[in-house]
Amino acid sequence: MLTQTYIEPALQVLPRIKRERKIFFLVAWLDVFIGGQQSAKSDQIVHHYPDTAQIEPDTRLKILQAVDELDRTVTIREKFAGPQ
């Protein structure tokens, strides 16, 4: 997917975005950006970030909430579509 290369940089800038309120609806942005991903690699990147980054607990929870749809997508694709 074209946006996969932007996942990690986008996640790394979240604390600054939250602090400066550059995006008013942070949860909606996360839902759209992360929810638009489909690959297992994207899923791994998103899960790796909150485990290793120094972020506030509420931001971590917002990321984990947003990645739920991606988790389901990856699981379904692996079960029914086989390896990508």
Identify the band that residue 2 occupies on the pLDDT scale cut at 50, 70 and 90.
confident
For tokens 């990321």, what's the residue? 63
- Using CB atoms within 10 Å of the CB of residue 16, give its burial: 0 to 12 exposed, 13 to 18 middle, 19+ buried: exposed
Identify the band that residue 3 occupies on the pLDDT scale cut at 50, 70 and 90.
confident
Identify the band that residue 1 occupies on the pLDDT scale cut at 50, 70 and 90.
low
42 neighbors 73 (Cβ within 8 angstroms): no
- Predicted pLDDT at 13: 87
pTM reported for the whole predicted model? 0.82
Identify the band that residue 45 occupies on the pLDDT scale cut at 50, 70 and 90.
very high
> C-alpha angle with apex 36: 69 to 33, nearest 5 degrees?
100
Considering only CA atoms, which of 48, 33, 84 is closest in space to residue 76? Answer: 84
